């Protein structure tokens, strides 16, 4: 099972939001680049990065910083936030990004999404950011009436490499992830799913790992605030052999 420490970038800083609210953000001392290097030294092999500025603006904002992070050796990076063009997707892949995460554009222009999934084989992931079962877009500020469970059926055969399923109401709250809904969604698709939002303890990780053994579609978990606030010990994760 894969563990993805999360780095959210806002105004060039490393932050965490509460339930996706840009007015309720916590800034951390390390810069995004320093934090990425720290995660690499600890032994993490996968990294989840969101350009929050890009998500709000609808265009890439922190490209240079992301390129610097990509130069870190022995770590795979997946990146999302404001990515809306074939050209920028290609640029990200060319600099070494492992997976490009699309969200708003994937939902608003499903033909574009199908096209890039075919063009960049096994490189395109989708962020399903969900509030009460319905997808939210544009930095979680635009709420739709599209059910995630219905949308995932439409993209089943596009060649999507993974789904990042985030329960917005749990994100940044340390109140446990919404495993019931995440596991329910994973059973609707053959696409690998990452759990995201609300991870609070090593017990949450153990529950996800247990599901991973019986359902390989649960590919891994994204951890943000729990790591930054010291709720999960890195040594515990390493001893449990989750880095493989």
Please enumerate, as own/partner, the contacts of 186-189 that have beta carbons within 8 Å and a separation of 24 or more: 186/215, 186/217, 186/218, 187/215, 187/217, 188/149, 188/152, 188/153, 189/152, 189/153, 189/156, 189/163, 189/217
Residue 129 annotated in active site? yes
Catalytic residue among 8, 46, 167, 204: 8
Catalytic residue among 46, 98, 129, 204: 129
Residues counted in the chain: 244
Residue 51 annotated in active site? no
Tell me the CA end-to-end span of the chain in Å, nearest whole number: 7
* Backbone φ, ψ for residue 63 (5° rounding): -60, -45
Let me know the angle formed at the C-alpha of 128 by 187 and 57, rounded to the nearest 5 degrees.
170
Tokens of 237: 């994760």
Cα separations in angstroms, 195 against 110, 124, 167, 183: 23, 17, 9, 9
Tokens of 185: 């969604």
Active centre residues (catalytic): 8, 129
């Amino acid at each position: 099972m894969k563990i993805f420490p999360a780095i959210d970038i806002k105004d060039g800083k490393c932050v965490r939001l509460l339930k996706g609210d840009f007015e309720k953000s916590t800034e951390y001392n390390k810069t995004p680049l320093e934090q990425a290097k720290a995660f690499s030294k600890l032994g993490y092999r996968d990294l989840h990065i969101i350009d929050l500025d890009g998500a709000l603006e609808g265009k890439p904002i922190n490209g240079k910083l992301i390129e610097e992070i990509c130069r870190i050796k022995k770590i795979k990076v997946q990146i999302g936030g404001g990515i809306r063009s074939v050209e920028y997707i290609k640029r990200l892949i060319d600099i070494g990004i492992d997976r490009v995460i699309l969200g708003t554009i994937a939902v608003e222009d499903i033909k574009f999404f199908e096209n890039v999934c075919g063009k960049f084989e096994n490189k395109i992931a989708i962020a399903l950011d969900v509030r009460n079962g319905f997808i939210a877009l544009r930095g979680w500020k635009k709420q739709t009436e599209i059910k995630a469970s219905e949308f995932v059926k439409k993209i089943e055969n596009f060649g999507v490499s993974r789904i990042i399923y985030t329960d917005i109401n749990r994100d940044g709250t340390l109140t446990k992830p919404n495993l019931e809904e995440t596991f329910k969604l994973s059973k609707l698709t053959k696409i690998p799913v990452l759990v995201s939002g609300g991870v609070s303890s090593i017990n949450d990780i153990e529950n996800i790992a247990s599901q991973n053994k019986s359902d390989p579609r649960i590919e891994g978990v994204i951890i943000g605030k729990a790591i930054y606030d010291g709720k999960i010990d890195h040594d515990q994760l390493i001893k449990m052999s989750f880095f493989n």
